[in-house]
Amino acid sequence: MSENTVLQGEQEVLVRVEGLKMWFPITSGIFQRTVGHIKAVDGLDFHVYRGETLGLVGESGCGKSTTGRAILQLNRPTAGHVYFGDMDVTTVKGNTLRQLRRRMQMIFQDPYASLNPRMTVGAIVAEPLEVHGIGNKKENRERVQELLRIVGLNPYFVNRYPHEFSGGQRQRIGVARALAVNPDFIVLDEPISALDVSIQAQIINLLEDLQNQFGLTYLFIAHDLSVVRHISDRIAVMYLGKIVELTGRNELYAHPMHPYTQALLSAVPIPDPVIEEKRQRIILEGDVPSPANPPKGCNFSTRCPRVMDICREQEPDFKDVGGGHFVACWLYE
């Protein structure tokens, strides 16, 4: 085992993110000079254990999807490191990166846009096998039919086109494509947000079954806190390009520490009228600052109901306050 493969307790860390930044340049003028940066992801530190589901939540535009894409090197990070097992994927290129991609896959948010409408379902699911030179035509045809069966589709649908399927069926095709090369780690980028509520539970149950069957590790990106609580082992809360809190799902819902997490959870409806009536909603004032010009100090200082002077001057450290509960807030210094 390499020095970069970390064991915490008895759990192996499969993915480790250190100081991850993803800044997009803002250009201006005839010569397109860089006049600033959109700090979509601004210094993340976390890890994902093998076999677990880490939920990544936050409001739209906070950098969740960009984080997933940067981990898989679909966008090359501006700074920081991503260790997959014992390899720093930010330093590899070419064929080495391509081989590594067999072990890391992504399921996209929109099942209507992520499938090529000119390709048959069989060709879509077989494409990763062909790209990586796995199997011959006969073996791949059998593998595709097997994958369709695994995700709950008729294996004889291989010659149909995406427009002949519903949204839920298309997302199952996307899942089959991600599974084709037997990955260890899958980034799920809001995989159910574009689906009907009645279909969402079916896809969530499918993902859980596949995780148990194949020992998969998930980074589950979403903004629906009730879904994240159901599927995740641990949850990271993101605000304006930074993770503000990270802990186990039950601990997060029972004892949220960061004011932003408390505000998020206060908005989740509880199906008990007695509890719901007594509960106090936390209404945040103002708008989310621009990632092109984040506030000085803590990113949440402009909207925090418990803001202090130090919050506007210095950024708090993201640290363990006990029992694997990480939080970035001056209230706990």
**What is residue 276's predicted lDDT score, i.e. its pLDDT?**
62
Burial 63-89 (b: 16+ CB within 10 A, else e): bbbbbbbbbbbebebbebebbbbebeb
Q: Judge whether residue 81 has pLDDT over 50.
A: yes
Please tell me which residue, 285 or 16, carries the higher pLDDT value.
16
Cα 200 to chain centroid distance, Å, stands at 17
3-class secondary structure, 109:
coil
Q: Judge whether residue 175 has pLDDT over 70.
A: yes
**What is residue 150's predicted lDDT score, i.e. its pLDDT?**
95
Please tell me which residue, 308 or 282, carries the higher pLDDT value.
308
**Stretch 203-207: mean pLDDT:** 93
**Stretch 57-84: mean pLDDT:** 93
Q: Judge whether residue 250 has pLDDT over 60.
A: yes
Cross-strand partners of 22: 41
In single-letter form, the type of residue at position 192 comes to I
**What is residue 218's predicted lDDT score, i.e. its pLDDT?**
97
Cα 274 to chain centroid distance, Å, stands at 34
Q: How far apart are CA 216 and CA 193, in angstroms?
A: 21
Q: Judge whether residue 172 has pLDDT over 50.
A: yes
**What is residue 126's predicted lDDT score, i.e. its pLDDT?**
94
List alpha helices for 191-329, DSSP H. Answer: 197-214, 225-231, 249-254, 259-266, 273-278
Q: Judge whether residue 68 has pLDDT over 70.
A: yes
- Number of Cβ within 10 Å of residue 181's Cβ equals 16
Cross-strand partners of 326: 246, 320
Give residue-wise pLDDT tens across range 98-141: 888 899 999 998 888 899 999 999 999 999 999 888 888 899 99
**Stretch 307-317: mean pLDDT:** 94
**What is residue 277's predicted lDDT score, i.e. its pLDDT?**
67
Please tell me which residue, 46 or 271, carries the higher pLDDT value.
46
Domains and CATH numbers, the chain: 7-103+183-244 (3.40.50.300)
What letter does residue 284 receive in the DSSP assignment?
A: P
Give the lowest-confidence range in 246-250, 270-274, 294-298, 327-331: 270-274
**Stretch 142-160: mean pLDDT:** 94
**Stretch 266-294: mean pLDDT:** 78
Q: What's this model's pTM, rounded to 2 decimal places?
A: 0.90
**Chain mean pLDDT for the chain:** 90
- CA 112, 116, 117, 119 torsion-angle sign: negative
